[in-house]
Structure 1
C-alpha cells in the first residue's frame, strides 16, 4: 500500500489508489468510448491494433495544489479523472489474439466496450483464436463471460500464468488481501473457472506462439505476467506492472494501492522501467494514455514517457 513517506504531503494511500486509476478521458468521451479509429502498427511479424475497452473513473481526493498540478495532465477535472483500458489485438498468421478481455458487464458501465469496438472492426467474438491474461483483475478478465454466463470468445484457447491460477483458485486467497478486494477474488474465480477446460498454464518465459513469450512481472498480483514480442528491439505489453504513464514514470518509488504484493510490485516496476530505458524497449501500457505505446526515457532520478 502507499505510504506517506513515498508520496507528497496530503496524498494518502487511498488518495493515490484513486488518483492512479486515471488517464485521458477527453478522446474517449468524445467517442462515447466506442472508437472511431484505432491505432495500428507492425512489430516484427505481428500486426497490432490497440482497441479501447472504454475507461474507468474513480474520485481523486488530494490537496488543491496537487490537484492543480496533476489532474489536468490526466484528463480529469477537480473531482475525478478517468483511466483508459487499452487492449492489444494481435494478428499473427492464422491467429487473432487478445491480451486480456476487459471489463465486460462485470465492472463500471463506462468500460466493457471491447466487443463493440471489435465489431466495428468487423471482428466477431468467434474469430478470436487466443486470449492471454496478464492477470485476473475484473478490468482485465471480466469480459471472459457474458452477463448470462456464456464464454464470450467461444473458439479461443486461453492462457494465464501458473502462479496467477494458483493464487486465485486457492480457496483461501481472500484471506491474503484486504476485504475491499474480496470481490476481485470472486470475479477471478468466475472468469478462470469458466474457461478451465481450454486454459493453458504458463511458466515464466514460456512461448505462447513463436515470438510471443510471457515474462514474470510479479507484484501487482502474485502471478502477474507481461507479454513480450520479439522483433524490432522488442515490445513489452506491460499489463498493470506499471499502471500510469505519468505518475509512476515520474515517481518510480511510489506504491500503488491495488498491488497485492506492494514491495515486490515496486521492485518489479523499477526494474521494468530501468530495463526499458536502458534497452530502448518499446512498451504498451494497459492504463496509459491511448494508445499507450511508447518508451521510457530517463529524466534525472525518474523517467518520462515518450509516445511512439
Structure 2
C-alpha cells in the first residue's frame, strides 16, 4: 500500500485575497480494490496554549525544538478522509465551512481538484462534532451541503451534543462549539443514522471507540481485501507531543485522562498490526505510519 502525495492551489473563492491562495496537500493510498484519499479543508490557526497549557514546560521545550514549533502559535492541517470503493463515496467529517476560521473551509476546492462535487458524496461519517469537523455540513443557505448523502454519527457523540445541558456544562471557551454543533445536527435530525462502537457502519468500515477528545469520538477501521487503514480523527491529534508523549494531558481534549488512555490503546494496536493511519491534523496530507521510538512514537510519511 504505497502513498502518493500532490499539492494544488485552492480556488479564488476560498479566500478574499488571491495573493493569499494556499497550496493544499492530498495524499492517496490503495486499500485492496478501493482508494483512500485525503482532501484538505485548509489549516487552523490556534494559540499554542490550546494544546500545550497542561503540559510540563521544561519537558515540552525540547519537543518544540525538535519539531520546529512555536509555543505560541500552531497551524495544523485539516485533512478529511475520502473512501471510494466503486459503490460508495464516503467522506469522514464535513470540515469547517465558511464560519469557523478564514484559513479553513476549503473542502469544496479540494473536492473540485479531484473532479468531485458535494453531490457526489454518498455518505458523511463523523468522527465527532467539533467545529472543524461538522460546521461544514451546511451550505450558504443553511441547507445540508452534501444533499445526496446519508449522514452518520456515533450514538454517544450525538446524544452528548444534542443534550440541552451540554452548552452550560462544556465551559465558556467551548460554548460556541455546542451551539454550532446542535444547529447543524438539527438540520439532519430526520436523516441521520446512528451507530455504536464495533458496528460495521458501511461495508468494510467499522467504528472503533476512541473516546476522550470528545465524549463519543469515533475512529474507523477501513478494510478492503487484506488491506486496512485506521482513520483516527482527532484521537491522535498532532504529530509531535501526541506521538512523543501520548500519556500527557492535552488542552485540546475534553476528557484529557480518557484521551491519553485512548492514545495508548490506539498506538499499541497500530504498531502491533502495522496499520497505516489518517489523522485529521497530521501533516502533509495526514497519511502515514507509526513506529515505536526511543521516546514514544514517530509519525512516518512515505511517498
Give TM-score scaled by structure 1 length: 0.84
Distance apart, 1:183 and its partner CA: 0.5
Alignment-derived partner of residue 84 in structure 1: 77
Q: Does 1:190 pair with 2:183?
A: yes
Matched ranges for 1:233-272 at <5 A: 233-272=227-266
Asked if 1 retains the 8 angstrom alpha-carbon contact of 2:126 and 2:153, the reply is: yes
Q: Does 1:49 pair with 2:24?
A: no
Distance apart, 1:224 and its partner CA: 0.5
* SS at structure 2 position matched to 1:38: strand
Alignment-derived partner of residue 210 in structure 2: 217
Asked if 2 retains the 8 angstrom alpha-carbon contact of 1:207 and 1:213, the reply is: yes
Looking at structure 1, the residues matched to 173 and 184 of structure 2 have their Cα atoms a distance apart, in angstroms, of 19
Looking at structure 2, the residues matched to 278 and 173 of structure 1 have their Cα atoms a distance apart, in angstroms, of 37
Asked if 2 retains the 8 angstrom alpha-carbon contact of 1:53 and 1:102, the reply is: yes
Asked if 1 retains the 8 angstrom alpha-carbon contact of 2:215 and 2:254, the reply is: yes
User: Please, which runs of 5 or more residues in structure 1 have no aligned partner?
Assistant: 1-25
Matched ranges for 1:149-298 at <5 A: 149-231=142-224, 232-298=226-292
* Residues 233 and 121 of structure 1, relative CA distance in 2, 3 Å threshold: closer
Distance apart, 1:198 and its partner CA: 1.4
Distance apart, 1:80 and its partner CA: 2.6
Looking at structure 1, the residues matched to 297 and 198 of structure 2 have their Cα atoms a distance apart, in angstroms, of 27
Distance apart, 1:300 and its partner CA: 2.9
User: Please, which runs of 5 or more residues in structure 2 have no aligned partner?
Assistant: 1-6, 11-18
* SS at structure 2 position matched to 1:238: strand
Q: Does 1:306 pair with 2:300?
A: yes
Looking at structure 2, the residues matched to 262 and 140 of structure 1 have their Cα atoms a distance apart, in angstroms, of 19
| RMSD, aligned α-carbons | 2.6
* SS at structure 1 position matched to 2:75: strand
Aligned length: 281
Looking at structure 1, the residues matched to 23 and 132 of structure 2 have their Cα atoms a distance apart, in angstroms, of 17
Q: Does 1:59 pair with 2:53?
A: no
* Residues 247 and 220 of structure 1, relative CA distance in 2, 3 Å threshold: same
Looking at structure 2, the residues matched to 230 and 259 of structure 1 have their Cα atoms a distance apart, in angstroms, of 28
Give TM-score scaled by structure 2 length: 0.85
